[in-house]
């Protein structure tokens, strides 16, 4: 009987032997492996801070991810944006702010230290309900009413937070031919305190005013976005009042430093989108905060930031004339 023998090639035997001697490597852990720090660009208790906490709580409930909230206010979110770029680009530090520090500040301020392209935009949470307000006791029902009073008085004070609104105020003053004295405030909460304390005649609000409007203490004079505000749909927009550059539509957003791992970007964006779409978050945002819950992912949100950047340049040009 003939016997047949099969021999393995020496190279194959050697490779198999070497592989057998190698220790098995640990399985790659899925991101995130530790808590995520959220830097909020405004003070605790304001709209951005509240939204950041609402969304992070919803993400924790669904995915079990832990968040550490740190407030870094100043420059309308600019202080936070600059701090964010100094953090590791590992996805474990993200920012909660509005569009302005990314789109407006680098265009209109010198030596900011960053541009809109230095960030990745993870997702929007809610659309502004931005408008101009006054205490009801003033007796003004529209912005036209207030500006007529400003002409009679010779000047009027306005509470403003952030560079974009300061620039918009200058265009409003030019449009009506009035003297508006800008009184800086730290966030929407600061403007509300100015109005309630009688320190300013009118002021800007991006949503935090809802409780005072609902209570009959404040009135909306005009909407500063591309549609009437939910709190008073009868009031005209600034564009309708003849100021085409003053569509100041914007969003509360979450962002991170450019260079974050794709896995972190994708997972965070998806989790933010899920949270914004959830009934509980929608109810809190739409009904309690009187904002409009609206999610846009990285690509669409980046396009909106770039559009706001272009708008900043147009306003800069208009103010030079």
172-184 in b/e form (b: 16+ CB < 10 A) is: bbebbebebebbe
**Per-residue confidence band for 19, with pLDDT thresholds at 50, 70 and 90:** very low
pLDDT at 4: 43
Q: 221: part of which helix (H) or strand (E)?
A: strand 218-223
Query: Rounded to whole angstroms, how far apart are CA atoms 43 and 173?
Result: 29
| Whole-prediction pTM | 0.79
pLDDT tier for residue 29 given thresholds of 50, 70 and 90: low
Cα Rg, the chain, nearest whole Å: 26
Across the range 166-190, mean pLDDT stands at 93
Q: What digits encode the pLDDT tens for the residues 42-96?
A: 888 888 899 999 999 999 999 999 999 999 988 888 999 999 999 999 999 999 9
Mean pLDDT of 279-287: 93
pLDDT, average across residues 182-205: 93
Calculate what percentage of the chain has a pLDDT beyond 70.
91
pLDDT tens digits, one per residue of 206-229: 888 988 999 999 999 999 999 999
Average pLDDT over the chain, rounded to whole?
89
At 250 the pLDDT is: 87
pLDDT for 114:
93
* Tens of pLDDT, residues 106-140: 998 888 889 999 999 999 999 989 999 999 999 99
pLDDT in tens, 87-105: 999 999 999 999 989 999 8
Rounded Cα gap, residues 225 and 237, in angstroms:
7
Is 70 exceeded by the pLDDT of residue 18?
no
CB 189 within 8 A of CB 195: no
Give mean pLDDT, residues 130-152: 97
Q: 63's torsion region: left (phi>0), alpha (psi -120 to 50) or beta?
A: alpha
Whether residue 304 has pLDDT greater than 80:
yes
């Amino acid at each position: 009987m003939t016997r047949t023998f099969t021999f393995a090639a020496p190279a194959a035997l050697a490779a198999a032997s070497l592989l057998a001697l190698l220790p098995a490597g640990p399985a790659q852990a899925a991101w995130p492996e530790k808590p995520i720090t959220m830097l909020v660009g405004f003070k605790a208790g304001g709209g951005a801070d509240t939204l950041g906490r609402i969304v992070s709580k919803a993400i924790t409930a669904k995915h079990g991810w832990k968040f550490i909230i740190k407030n870094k206010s100043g420059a309308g979110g600019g202080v936070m944006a600059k701090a964010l770029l100094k953090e590791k680009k590992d996805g474990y530090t993200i920012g909660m702010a509005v569009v302005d520090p990314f789109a407006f500040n680098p265009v209109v301020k010198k030596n900011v230290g960053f541009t809109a392209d230095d960030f990745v935009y993870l997702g929007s949470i809610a659309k502004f309900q931005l408008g101009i307000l006054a205490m009801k006791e003033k007796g003004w029902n529209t912005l036209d009413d207030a500006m007529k009073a400003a002409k009679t008085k010779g000047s009027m004070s306005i509470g403003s937070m952030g560079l974009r609104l300061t620039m918009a105020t200058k265009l409003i003053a030019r449009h009506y031919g009035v003297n508006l004295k800008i009184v800086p405030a730290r966030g929407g909460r600061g403007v509300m305190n100015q109005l309630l304390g009688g320190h300013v005649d009118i002021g800007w609000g991006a949503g935090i005013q809802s409780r005072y409007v609902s209570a009959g203490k404040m009135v909306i004079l005009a909407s500063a976005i591309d549609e009437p505000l939910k709190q008073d749909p009868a009031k005209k927009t600034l564009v309708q009042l003849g100021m085409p550059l003053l569509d100041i539509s914007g969003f509360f957003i979450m962002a991170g430093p450019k260079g974050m791992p794709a896995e972190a970007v994708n997972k965070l964006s998806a989790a933010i989108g899920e949270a914004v779409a959830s009934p509980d978050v929608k109810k809190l945002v739409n009904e309690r905060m009187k904002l409009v819950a609206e999610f846009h992912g990285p690509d669409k949100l980046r396009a909106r930031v770039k559009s706001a950047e272009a708008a900043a340049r147009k306003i800069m040009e208009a103010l030079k004339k």
